Amino acid sequence: MEITVRTTDLLKELLLIQGVVERKTTIPILSQLLVEAGGDGQIHLAATDLELAISTNCPAKIKKSGSGAVPARKLLDYVRLLPDADLSIKLLENHYVQLRCGRASTRMVGMSRENFPELAAFPSTPPARIPGAVLARMIRKTIFAIASEEARYTLNGAQMVLKPESIALVATDGHRLAHVADDHTAIEGVPAEIRCLVPRKAMVELQKLIDELPEGGTVEFGQDETNLFFSLPLAGGGRRVLAARQLTGQFPNYEAVLPKDNARVCVLPSEPLTQALRRVAQFADERSHAVKLRLEKDHLTLTSSSSEAGEADEELDTPYQGEPMVIGFNSQYLLDFLAVAGSEEVRLELKDEQSAGQFRPQGGDGDQYRYIVMPMRI
Amino acid sequence: MSWSDILLPPAVREQLAGLAAGAERNRTLLLSGPPGVGKTTSALALGLALNCRQPPAPGDFCGACLSCREFAGWDAVQAQLEQALSYRQEQVRTRAKEAAPLQVRLHPQILYFPPDGDFLSMAQAREIARLAYLRPDPGRHWMLIVPGFDQARWMVQNALLKLLEEPPPDATLALLAVQPAELLPTVRSRCLAIPLPPQPEPVMAEWLATRRPEVRADDRHMLLRLAQGAPGRALSLDLADWRARRQTLFQLLQATLMTSHYDRLFPLTENLRLSKEEIEITAEILYSVLQDLLYLKSGRSSAIQNSDSRERLSGWAREISWEQLELAVEQLDRLLRGLRRNLHRTLAWDAWALRVRMAAAGA
């Protein structure tokens, strides 16, 4: 293989791919990047950590086609130090890779292409087409609620529900649940309902890929029995494809826990609530982050106390007219929601001190966004 | 290559092939038996059978299909393990054991998690669970092999309980143990126990003649005895190395049992200032010698393992008393237990030799 590529073009793709390169591994081939040069004026790059795989293209002048595995991190570290110029990459004997850029030259120790894991191909069935902006927004609104506990693997991802007329994403860690649905966006290529579990790591990488998508771009989605595939078009032709191994197991029946009769409603301004929560949380217990919300006629009082730090309280005005009540929540959970709610005001809907509270943006971007948090006994 | 080419007790072979063929699979197995008896081989073969694309018979594997060809090889474990360790040492410098849990990929779906240091680490246990809950490649099945699980700390065993209780449908976990009784009862109760008994000597003799034809007949006989029905051990045992190590031990035994000069004793124990692994090998040789002395004293001379030193051992067997022999074994057990707690190696051998010597002097 012998090719010439622009360093800036290559660097852009290398940066996107690094998220799935397994740097800390005892399986050496997983720290390598697969480079393939065909006859289409593009080089094909791919990396995998056995859970995720990303493949992408980069325009190149191809003198001789071929393929090889190159240490991904070393290649990135080297290329990012090069100026914007042509870089020639040549595969030598014994899997050595020679790089030349201007007067700089290096030889890297690569590995045999044969050892590189086989990458799953995008299924041949017609893909679903999801607007990139919608998907990115929904990921942002749910990703923080995904469990990081190792013991509950089915919660280590978000459930995506695709219907011809809507898309929804749900994530929970057992203490809180974020549910977002867009009923206004038609999803092309979805003949019937599709439900799948998208692993958290895949959502992180997908978000990075969508950020590079031109405005109005769509993400093509497909799945086979093992993988979920997200394919995004590249400006210069070709596609970036993220393949994520599906998690086994059933996502819990979350619909059963969605509150139905939380009649005590108060509407609060997002920004003042965020600021007040941040201040009060300073004095919350370091492990539980618990804050108390006292609802009374026309105002809400936030309080916290810890034996070591001291105590704090802060009052906010709200047009609340219901019965007084006190309820405890993890302040960090509330701040996570407020950071992505995307509205000037939020609705807090409660039933009693022992039942889950529901938070929703008041107005906002049109998404049906619900955030359910279990209360804390304080 | 198929099940019929692997030396396993027929009942075990049938059970494993049945597991691979069955629609309902028990997916947590506890394969137990002495070192070299075939635990790893059984688990690898089961992994191949579960993934074979063209099984010649239900539950068997062909050795020729795409999946079988992706297998790194029966002898690849050690080489790949060494490669993994050296790669990690070079590449992952900070908190390497936690950041890069030790694993060896022998096939796209067959992963092997050897003890990282002395035990399976918590990071490895987490990695096993993480992988098990991911879907394997289409039409394939994960086989996750955990050797030496009886050495794993209880905390680590507990970390896998949920996975052992309800393994995902596309994953089989093979726990390998020399001493299954050392495992938590909660682990044992969640696994299908498959004990692998040693092979009968005639079966081993026939098999070894085809596998190591270059070995002289008398050496092969000794190999058979030393392997004690474990095919893996018969294949890997280096007789020249065994004899060299045994010579050092013979000198020590001679000095311990027959000499009253302590100044001759301690220079000999200096020679045993070895690494922990080497001490375990040395202790194994010493056990075999002590067992031979026991056989000779009880008139079962045909059962001895170190058959090439029959004369010397017979002489010692006449000299040594039953009490001395019992004490020597007890003290060796104690030495090995102490080594696991990082006892000073030379001092441990000094103490062993002194106690046995004092008992001999007392007698």
- Please indicate, yes or no, whether residues A8 and A110 belong to a single structural domain of this protein: yes
pLDDT at B259: 66
Dihedral Cα B239, B245, B247, B252, nearest 10 deg: -150
Chain B environment of A250 (Cβ under 8 Å) = none
Distance between CA atoms of residues B277 and B240, nearest Å:
18
Residue B80 has pLDDT above 90, yes or no: no
pLDDT digits (tens, 9 = 90+) for A227-280: 999 999 988 778 999 999 998 888 888 888 888 888 899 999 999 999 999 999
The model's pLDDT over B3-42, given as tens digits with 9 standing for 90+, comes to 888 899 999 999 999 999 985 567 899 999 999 999 999 9
Share of chain A above pLDDT 90, in %: 69
Find, among A153, A151, A181, the residue nearest to A167 by Cα: A181
Amino acid residing at B243: R
| Partner B, chain A 28-67, Cβ-Cβ below 8 Å | 28, 31, 50-51
A27 at interface of B, judged by CB pairs closer than 8 A = yes
Question: For residue A283, what is the DSSP state?
Answer: T
Question: Which of A213, A233, A255 finishes a domain?
Answer: A255
Phi, psi of A32 (to 5 degrees): -100, 155
- A226 with A140, same domain: the answer is yes
High-pLDDT (> 90) share of chain B, %: 44
Which residues in chain B have Cβ-Cβ distances shorter than 8 Å to A120? Answer: 137-138
Best A24, A26, A149 residue to mutate vs chain B (most B CBs within 10 Å): A26
pLDDT over 60 at A350, yes or no: yes
Tracing tokens 């890779």 back to the chain, one arrives at A97
In a domain? residue A84: yes
User: Same structural domain for residues A250 and A145?
Assistant: yes
Domain range holding A26? 2-115
**Considering only CB atoms, which residues of chain B are within 8 Å of chain A?**
83-85, 87-88, 91-92, 96, 99-105, 108, 126, 129-131, 133-139, 159, 162, 168-171
**What is the reported pLDDT for B288?**
92
Residues A292 and A224 in one domain: no
**Residue A228, domain member (yes or no):** yes
Model confidence band, residue B267 (pLDDT cutoffs 50, 70, 90): confident
Q: What number is the average pLDDT over the span B32-57? A: 94
Give residue-wise pLDDT tens across range A88-133.
999 998 899 999 999 999 999 999 888 899 899 999 988 999 999 9
Radius of gyration of chain B from its Cα atoms, rounded to whole angstroms: 23
The CA distance from A172 to A174, in Å, is 6
Query: Which own/partner contact pairs does A271-277 have at CB distance under 8 Å and 24+ positions apart?
Result: A271/A344, A272/A316, A273/A316, A273/A338, A273/A346, A274/A335, A274/A338, A274/A339, A276/A302, A276/A314, A276/A316, A277/A302, A277/A331, A277/A334, A277/A335, A277/A338
Alpha helices in chain A (DSSP H): 7-17, 72-79, 132-142, 200-211, 270-281, 331-340
Asked whether the ipTM of the predicted complex exceeds the cut of 0.90, the reply is: no
Residues from chain A that touch B169, judged by Cβ atoms under 8 A, are 248
Q: Does A241 share its domain with A168?
A: yes
User: A263 near A344, Cβ under 8 Å?
Assistant: no
Is the model more confident about B287 or about B278?
A: B287
Instruction: From A92, A115, A138, give the residue that closes a domain.
Output: A115
- Residue B100 pLDDT > 90: no
Question: How distant is the Cα of B92 from the closest Cα of chain A, in angstroms?
Answer: 6
For residue B94, pLDDT over 70 is answered with: no
| Chain B residues closer than 8 Å to A154 by CB | 133
- A123 domain residue, yes or no: no
* Final residue in a domain of this structure, among A65, A81, A115: A115
Domain of A306, CATH number, reads: 3.10.150.10
Number of domains within chain A: 3
Most A CBs within 10 Å, among B90, B91, B112, to test the A interface: B91
* Inside any domain, residue A121: no
Question: How many CB atoms are located within 10 Å of the residue A31 CB?
Answer: 23
Rg (alpha carbons) of chain A, rounded to whole number: 25
Chain B residue with minimum CA distance to A248: B133
Q: What is the mean pLDDT of residues B215-225?
A: 88
pLDDT mean over A141-167: 88
Q: Can you list the positions of beta strands (E) in chain B?
A: 28-32, 104-107, 110-112, 142-146, 171-177, 192-195
Residue among A23, A50, A248 minimizing CB distance to B170: A248
Closest by Cβ to A26, choosing from B102, B129, B136: B102
Cβ within 8 Å, pair B91-A118: no
Residue A287 placed within a domain:
yes
Same domain, A281 and A245: no
Q: What number is the average pLDDT over the span B166-186?
A: 93
C-alpha to C-alpha distance for A76 and A20, rounded to whole angstroms: 13
Query: CB-hemisphere CA count at 13 Å for B280?
Result: 8
Position B118 scores a pLDDT of: 81
- Using pLDDT thresholds of 50, 70 and 90, give the confidence band for residue B92: low
Question: Does residue A378 lie within any of the structural domains?
Answer: no
Across the range B140-159, mean pLDDT stands at 94
A179 and A134 in a common domain: yes
Closest residue of A to B96, CA-based?
Answer: A24
- List, in sequence order, the alpha helices (H) in chain B: 10-21, 39-51, 66-69, 76-91, 96-99, 122-132, 154-159, 161-165, 185-188, 201-211, 217-227, 231-236, 239-258, 262-270, 276-297, 310-319, 322-340, 345-362
Q: Is A201 on the interface with B (CB under 8 A)?
A: no
Q: Which long-range contacts (CB under 8 A, 24 or more apart) does B94-97 make?
A: B96/A24, B97/B121, B97/B123
| Cα separation, B260 vs B254, whole angstroms | 11
Model confidence at B343, pLDDT cuts 50, 70, 90, reads confident
CB spacing of A27 vs B84 below 8 angstroms: yes
Facing B100 at nearest CB: one of A25, A120, A150: A25
Chain B residues within an 8 Å CB radius of A151: 129, 162
Of B126, B135, B159, the CB nearest to A245: B135
Distance CA A319, CA A241 (A): 49
Token pair of B42 as six digits = 């059984």
A189 belongs to a structural domain: yes
Do A229 and A221 form a contact (C-beta atoms < 8 A)? yes
For helices B345-362 and B239-258, angle between their N-to-C axes, nearest 10 degrees: 50
Interchain contact, A118 vs B169, CB within 8 Å: no
A66 exposure class (CB count in 10 Å sphere: 0-12, 13-18, 19+): middle
**Which domains, from first to last, does chain B contain?**
3-195 (3.40.50.300), 238-360 (no CATH)
Across chain A, mean pLDDT equals 91
Nearest residue of A to residue B171 by CA position? Answer: A248
Chain A residue at shortest CA distance from B93: A24
Residues A276 and A346 in one domain: yes
pLDDT for the residue A150: 63
Question: Which one-letter DSSP state was computed for residue A185?
Answer: -
Q: Do both A137 and A230 map to the same domain?
A: yes
Which residue has better confidence, B24 or B54? B54
Report chain A residues whose CB lies below 8 A from the CB of B91.
23-24, 31
Amino acid at B181: A
Q: What is the mean pLDDT of residues A321-335?
A: 93
At B278, is the secondary structure helix, strand, or coil?
helix
Residues A180 and A166 in one domain: yes
Q: Are residues A245 and A283 in the same domain?
A: no
Q: Which of A180-184, A276-280, B261-265 is predicted least confidently?
A: B261-265
Asked if residue A122 lies in contact with residue A350, where contact means CB atoms within 8 angstroms, the answer is: no
| Cβ(B32)–Cβ(B188) below 8 Å | no
| A249 and A263 housed in the same domain | no
Residue A122 lies in a domain: no
Contact A125/B at CB under 8 A: no
